[in-house]
Amino acid sequence: MNRISIYDSTLRDGAQAQGISYSVEDKIRVVLKLDALGVHYIEAGNPGSNPKDLEFFERVKALSLRNSQVIAFGSTRKVGVDAADDGNVLSLLRAGTAAVAIFGKSWDYQVTDILRTSLDENLCMIVDTIRYLKGQGREVVYDAEHFFDGYRANADYALRTLAAAAEAGADCLCLCDTNGGTFPRDIFEITRGVVERFKRPIGIHCHNDCEMAVANSVMAVQAGATQVQGTINGFGERCGNANLCSIIPDLQLKLGYPCIPPASMANLAVVARSISEIANMPHNERAPYVGGDAFAHKGGMHIDAVVKNPASYEHIDPDQVGNSRRMLMSEVAGRSMLLARIQAVEPSLGKDSPETRRIVDRLKQLEHEGYQFEAAESSFELVVRQILGKYQPFFELQEFKVIVNEPSINGVNSSVMIKIRVGDQEELTAAEGDGPVNALDKAVRKALERFYPEIGEIRLTDYKVRVLDSDMASAARVRVLIESTDHRENWTTIGVSTDIIDASWRALVDSIEYKLVREQERRAAGLKLVLQS
């Protein structure tokens, strides 16, 4: 099998997605994560487009990367300008990267109607730019923009643009489905023809406008392409780019193409989630391989089968990509699933144990009150621990007061005073926030960090409210779900009350205490290892 070169464009093409704007610090963090994952190229931006990218390319020179080459991205020279005098081309050299990516037009319509130049001048632009950069000692990846649309419109000219790039010395010819409208069979046939014609590495760059970017990328590899361009989590303009988090395991685990170091595959889910956090985008929990739902089971029969043999409803072992199996708590989950969740806390219990019956009774009572543990397994675990005597609260609320002022001033409209007790010590503090829940979250953290510094690692990533009995109008019960992360683990907790602030408080307390339970277990495990050694 050919080794596949993974070319990541999360920091360039991915940054064109709505809602994403990376700081220089963000970009440095992403580079380090991609390097650790083992991608071959990191396309990090266009140094000629803005001062931020120029600053990034200066700073990235100081990094000692183990696996990845940072690559600067730009276009062919302008119409009628020598490559040696073109400002954007020169900025690629100033970026100081050993490799550069150059995109050029391969669709005759784009040349005549968008660039408004002749077809021959476009070929000269491709040749001049690549030849100049090769003369400066750079590795050059040539991106044939709109190649598949251009091939359908005028195959002869589209191939002439590739021939021009090859003649000028391009190290890789990348075929771009820029509009994302090509189907897998066409991708395969056209790519195979290009591979047979040009005796050099061929790449593929797909967009997801028909939701076929992953399939198209895989088909191109099966047709002979040896470089795959894409982004982590499929970030990108419009419907996004080809999702490397699906392509890499598809190729390496399913088809046997080497892509990244085998040991790095188990970090894929963590990298995907971390980059969602850095981009400040909600992680797609339904994403294949790396989503929280990718190996989640809810139906009782499904769960029973998975407990007996995971292969019955899982196409790979989730550990292979660093994900984990989840058994969702719900009214359709069978006893075997509930017992499996209980045994995760206390392995010695069976389905007929008195403790198990108490847990089931308590679960039914809470579900009657409006609790639903399908998406709040962390709160469920705390309930189990309480019933089994394996949990003591880390703090006790004495009281809190919430004041809401409207209109808000500088985004702050709420303040909270809170008094808590930890052991025999009391802490009284206050905080302001954008809304009462935000102020309450800040206040309780502020009060507790003196006792538990690890609370500072917690970040709330999602907050959802659902009205349970709308016929009660403003007296209705509400269910609050809070999703939290400490960048190692993600967990969701729940609170139910007729008071939205009280429901939020209950979910917040569970979130904090779940984190503290986990830290307590980590310390105990570390101590045990020390004593054993």
Per-residue pLDDT tens digits for 27-36:
999 999 999 9
Which tokens hold the place of 68? 């990845």
In this model, does residue 167 exceed pLDDT 90?
A: yes
168, 126 Cβ separation under 8 angstroms? yes
Domain residue limits, the chain: 5-279, 296-388, 396-531
Domains 5-279 and 396-531 share a fold: no
When pLDDT is cut at 50, 70 and 90, the band that residue 489 belongs to is: confident
CATH class of 5-279: alpha beta
Beta strand pairing status for 69-75 and 41-43? parallel
- Between 146 and 461, the higher pLDDT residue: 146
pLDDT of residue 312: 74
How many residues can be counted in the chain?
533
pLDDT of residue 476: 75
Question: What is the phi/psi pair of residue 364, to 5°?
Answer: -65, -40
pLDDT of residue 332: 46
DSSP 8-class letter at 241: B
Q: b/e for 206-242, b at 16 or more Cβ within 10 A?
A: bbbbbebbbbbbbbbbbbbbbbbbbbbbbbbbeebbb
Least confident of 84-93, 227-236, 294-303: 294-303
When pLDDT is averaged across residues 47-66 and rounded to a whole number, the result is 88
- Cα separation, 27 vs 20, whole angstroms: 12
When pLDDT is averaged across residues 149-176 and rounded to a whole number, the result is 97
pLDDT of residue 355: 85
In this model, does residue 331 exceed pLDDT 50?
A: no
Diameter over CA atoms, the chain: 85
Enclosing H/E stretch for 492: strand 490-497
Which tokens hold the place of 59? 């700073």
Enclosing H/E stretch for 488: none
pLDDT of residue 391: 81
pLDDT of residue 357: 83
pLDDT of residue 371: 79
3-state secondary structure of 189: helix
- Cα separation, 198 vs 218, whole angstroms: 20
In this structure, the number of other CB atoms found within 10 A of the CB of residue 423 comes to 9
When pLDDT is averaged across residues 305-315 and rounded to a whole number, the result is 75
Q: Which residues contact 310 (CB under 8 A, 6 or more apart)?
A: 317, 325
pLDDT of residue 348: 84
Q: With pLDDT > 70 as the criterion, what percentage of the chain qualifies?
A: 93
Question: Rounded mean pLDDT of the chain?
Answer: 89
Least confident of 110-114, 216-220, 277-281, 295-299: 295-299
Least confident of 225-234, 285-294, 517-526: 517-526
- Cα separation, 513 vs 503, whole angstroms: 16
In this model, does residue 15 exceed pLDDT 70?
A: yes
When pLDDT is averaged across residues 118-127 and rounded to a whole number, the result is 96
Threshold 0.85, pTM exceeds: no
Cα–Cα nearest to 8, from 285, 284, 319, 272 = 272
Task: Please return the burial class of 441, using the count of CB atoms within 10 Å of its CB with bins 0-12, 13-18 and 19+.
Answer: buried
pLDDT of residue 244: 98
502, 477 Cβ separation under 8 angstroms? no
The alpha carbon of 28 is separated from its chain's Cα centroid by a whole number of angstroms, namely: 16
When pLDDT is cut at 50, 70 and 90, the band that residue 379 belongs to is: confident
pLDDT of residue 330: 54
| 282 preceded by a cis bond (ω within 30 of 0) | no
Identify the bridge partners of residue 467 per DSSP, sorted by sequence position: 478
| pLDDT, tens digit, 9 for 90 and up, residues 382-439 | 888 888 888 888 999 999 999 988 777 777 889 999 999 999 999 999 999 888 888 9
CATH number for the region 396-531 comes to 3.30.160.270
When pLDDT is cut at 50, 70 and 90, the band that residue 335 belongs to is: low
CA dist list (Å): 27 to 87, 111, 393:
24, 33, 40
363, 318 Cβ separation under 8 angstroms? no
In this model, does residue 320 exceed pLDDT 90?
A: yes
When pLDDT is averaged across residues 187-213 and rounded to a whole number, the result is 97
